[in-house]
Structure 1
Amino acid sequence: MSYDVIIIGAGPGGYVSAVRCAQLGLKTAIVEGRETLGGTCLNVGCIPSKALLHATHSLHEAQHSFGKMGLKGAAPEVDWDQMKSYKDDVIGQNTGGVEFLMKKNKIDWLKGWASIPAAGQVKVGDETYATKNIVIASGSVPSALPGVTVENDKGIVVDSTGALELPKIPNKMVVIGAGVIGLELGSVYARLGTEVTVVEYMDAVCPGMDKDVQRSFKKILEKQGLKFIMGAAVQGVEALKSKAKVTYQPKKGGDDEIIDADVVLVATGRKPYAEGLGLDALGVKLTERGQIATDAKWATNVPGIYAIGDVIEGPMLAHKAEDEGMAVADVIAGKHGHVNYGVIPGVVYTTPEVATVGATEEALKAEGRKVKIGKFSFMGNGRAKAVGQADGFVKLIADKETDRVLGAAIIGPAAGDMIHEICVAMEFGASAEDIALTCHAHPTYSEAVREAALACGDGPIHA
């Protein structure tokens, strides 16, 4: 059997690329060794964590907000096994949907783990398939931390995958890392009644994010019960029979300190995964950080072999991989593939949500760019106050001379959806005034975006 394209990995980058290749008339196969399609994102990442975030947010609302709204009754009890079953059902619906897409588009699923014996060949199990093009979309895995051994099956020292399947709700949890994954899963367990302590090496949560958002976000999470130990270097984790001890070195110096926990979640980021593909033997070049090196058309230095998603440079985001998947399909089909890396949003799905796009104020000023800032608090937004989510703000960054929108940060309700208005504006090279002059429905959260745009000019109305 021979193909025009074989894609290795059925995560968001891989399966989207496969569908796009098939739509363009290319005979396509996808290789996946899991029992289900969808990769990390659908199976043990984005989708299951969002199911648990939704379930626990509903619990929090019932416990803390329903009474204020006149909804009386006993607070719901948590059935942890049923909650995990709900999460698994959500996974099944999504992974089943991807399998349907493969069948609909006549894409062959080569079940097993791939290796690449030579350019133009992909081996799966005992079978070797010929192909004109190979797309590596093998994704990423949780990063290891020196001095820490993760054993998900024991449920004491776990990574993000293990945190989705804990046998019981812990009384105390230590989260190592105040990035997106740590804060989302930390929020889940804090709502379930766990005492959550986040240990972070840097001085701010979500390193690299807008500093105004970092400060506000941390304060809001602290109000929700999360505790933070910042500027702390974890020295090791000792797993005992039913608990663990985390040893860390305070940045201010002094003796090492120890925290006890029932569960330790190691959430220190992710690293590219290309194990078993045989890239060394093929001579595929890697970057200094272990990513597959590609050119502007996602091609490696070996003709006919491309790479996309978490395994190459750039933010490890499912939607970035999807964009690259569609673009590389266009390139292989002889069309022009394009990804605007300057307009890729990032979202943290806590409550409130945090969403960003483009450059930060700090980065632009470091470049010597003259900018103007439009900021508007959700305290001035009627819809946000009506649903009890008035914490947070919209921050818009525009060029001081041209008024062109250069970036934005939102912390507030539905931030992950609202950010796309700004993404579209940036794609079209819009000015802050363009957003300010666009009628926004009332009452909506999105009015806060308009107010932030007005703040770049003569000033907002409701502040």
Structure 2
Amino acid sequence: MANYDVIVIGAGPGGYVCAIRCAQLGLKTACVESRETLGGTCLNVGCIPSKAMLHASEMYHEAHTHFETMGLMGVSPKVDLGKMLEYKQSTVESNTKGIEFLFKKNKVDWLKGHGKVAGKGKVEVAGEIHEAKHIVIATGSEAASLPGIEIDEERVVTSTGALELKSVPKKMVVIGAGVIGLEMGSVYSRLGSDVTVLEFLDVITPGMDGEVQKSFQKMLTKQGINFTLGAAVQGVQKLKSKLKVTYKLRKDDSDGAIDADVVLVATGRKPYTDGLGLAEAGVEMTERGQIKTDAHLATNIEGIWAIGDVITGPMLAHKAEDEGMAVAETIAGQKGHVNYKVIPGVIYTSPEVASVGQTEEQLKEEGRAYTVGKFPFMGNARAKSHFTGDGFVKLLADKETDRILGAHIIGPMAGDLIHEICVGMEFGAAAEDIARTCHAHPTFSEAVREAALACGDGAIHA
């Protein structure tokens, strides 16, 4: 048995960041993780490996579409999926080993095994009890499925199985038009699969700015991805040589069916709280199976905290990281805080999609007067030279104060460009502040400045 100031259960982005920050603030800290490697879903079977696959498939696509135009001649490359998976795995290993190094550097103990709250200030790991003044639950989430669909991670897969396919399927059906479905669907579409996305709602990427949704779907359709919206999937039948996905169209209750070699179930994720001893400890839960916390991320049980996917809010790695640092600072007697109004969201397809703050639909619903500044990437010199002129930057600002209320970008490097707006919003910036800031030329970021200019007297290059 060992005594600690803090024990963090879960070593995903929220958990390992929380543990490291606790140690940096002088707290004796341990982190519990049952995987053989640190980093949780994100580093092992989520964010990082999927980005490696996205990058590889984009390079393959570039070689077949733009290399010759740029004067890069030669035999077009072929897909060796086994080799691509080796590259993906090497990316994963370099990141997970990096977390191990950071634990050693910051003197964070890794308690290997499944963690369980075993009473006030007690955590059981692999049959051994450890004591701590504070316990942080950071166990993340797991893939959610639909009733009647059996996941085998070979033919009917979640994102985990999609990252380990032995060959590129001829036909892939993706159930769910959210971030995971569109990212992995675009990977296999570029590698040669005939991809069809079935979505229950009448739009893709639910909750995103409506104008971005429509433009995004058009771009993906142009790339060869098929969409059937308003489709309520009824089941997946496993036949000898194929899969049969059945669904009902919500608009007229008509039946539909489509064959596939692989079905990717991307219908969201759910908090992973099984076997943690939370009920026995008296930890209060929400109706949706999340751990209930207050504004400081504390549960109803003194000394037990929760962060990341197990609590309310968007299931995003960077949101969990912010919460992990906030909890660590609060435990250390500081003023930990997370600004939930400025948490960006990114879809790493090509083009990328990024957003922060409010959408136009939300502003209209609350009756707020606002201005819109838009600028197309077709007017950006750098984007045109990279064959990435599709898309736009959309900035929303308060009509009276000009304060930035939200931003929505679809285009090259959107996931990086959005952070200029995030910083601006943290400091209460006006669109004019962005417009009057000199941006290097030629860069993609000039499109952000042009959108800010469009909130005022008008963009220069539009």
TM bucket normalised to smaller: over 0.9
Return the alpha-carbon distance in structure 1 between the equivalents of residues 256 and 221 of structure 2.
21
User: What's the CA shift string for 1:324-371, capped at 9, x where partnerless?
Assistant: 000000000011001000000000000000000001011011001101
Return the alpha-carbon distance in structure 2 between the equivalents of residues 459 and 255 of structure 1.
48
8 A Cα contact 1:156 1:242, kept in partner: no
2:321 aligned partner: 322
User: What's the CA shift string for 1:185-220, capped at 9, x where partnerless?
Assistant: 000000000000000011111000000100000000
User: What's the CA shift string for 1:70-93, capped at 9, x where partnerless?
Assistant: 111111011110000000000000
2:433 aligned partner: 434
User: What's the CA shift string for 1:402-453, capped at 9, x where partnerless?
Assistant: 0000000000000000000000000000000000000000000000000000
1:276 aligned partner: 275
1:256 aligned partner: 255
Return the alpha-carbon distance in structure 2 between the equivalents of residues 200 and 7 of structure 1.
37
- C-alpha displacement of 1:378: 0.4
SS of equivalent residue, structure 2 residue 429: coil
2:9 aligned partner: 8
1:391 aligned partner: 390
1:132 aligned partner: 133
2:120 aligned partner: 119
2:421 aligned partner: 422
* Runs of 4 or more consecutive aligned structure 1 residues displaced over 4 Å after TM superposition: none
Return the alpha-carbon distance in structure 2 between the equivalents of residues 144 and 76 of structure 1.
36
Question: Percentage identity across aligned positions?
Answer: 68
1:344 aligned partner: 343
Return the alpha-carbon distance in structure 2 between the equivalents of residues 185 and 90 of structure 1.
17
Return the alpha-carbon distance in structure 2 between the equivalents of residues 47 and 382 of structure 1.
30
TM-score, with structure 2 as normaliser = 0.99
TM-score, with structure 1 as normaliser = 0.99
**Letter matched to residue 356 of structure 2:** V
Return the alpha-carbon distance in structure 1 between the equivalents of residues 212 and 182 of structure 2.
14
Q: 1:90-239 alignment to 2 at 5 Å?
A: 90-152=91-153, 155-239=154-238
Return the alpha-carbon distance in structure 1 between the equivalents of residues 239 and 54 of structure 2.
29
User: What's the CA shift string for 1:148-205, capped at 9, x where partnerless?
Assistant: 11111xx110111010001111000000000000000000000000000000011111
- C-alpha displacement of 1:254: 4.4
Return the alpha-carbon distance in structure 2 between the equivalents of residues 101 and 438 of structure 1.
37
1:44 aligned partner: 45
1:87 aligned partner: 88
Return the alpha-carbon distance in structure 2 between the equivalents of residues 256 and 43 of structure 1.
38
Return the alpha-carbon distance in structure 1 between the equivalents of residues 94 and 238 of structure 2.
36
SS of equivalent residue, structure 1 residue 425: helix
Aligned length: 461
Return the alpha-carbon distance in structure 1 between the equivalents of residues 312 and 37 of structure 2.
26
- C-alpha displacement of 1:386: 0.4
User: What's the CA shift string for 1:35-68, capped at 9, x where partnerless?
Assistant: 0000000000000000000000000000001011
Return the alpha-carbon distance in structure 2 between the equivalents of residues 86 and 55 of structure 1.
9
Cα RMSD between the aligned structures? 0.6
Return the alpha-carbon distance in structure 2 between the equivalents of residues 354 and 306 of structure 1.
33
- C-alpha displacement of 1:146: 1.1
Unpaired stretches in structure 1, ≥5 consecutive residues: none
Specify whether residues 136 and 254 from structure 1 end up closer, same or farther in structure 2 by C-alpha distance, changes over 3 A only: closer
User: What's the CA shift string for 1:14-53, capped at 9, x where partnerless?
Assistant: 0000000000000000000000000000000000000000
Return the alpha-carbon distance in structure 2 between the equivalents of residues 356 and 207 of structure 1.
13
SS of equivalent residue, structure 1 residue 96: helix
Return the alpha-carbon distance in structure 2 between the equivalents of residues 371 and 280 of structure 1.
46
Unpaired stretches in structure 2, ≥5 consecutive residues: none
**Letter matched to residue 9 of structure 1:** G
SS of equivalent residue, structure 2 residue 202: coil
**Letter matched to residue 3 of structure 1:** Y
User: What's the CA shift string for 1:96-146, capped at 9, x where partnerless?
Assistant: 000100011111000000111112000001100011000000000001211
**Letter matched to residue 347 of structure 1:** V
**Letter matched to residue 190 of structure 1:** S
Return the alpha-carbon distance in structure 2 between the equivalents of residues 254 and 428 of structure 1.
50
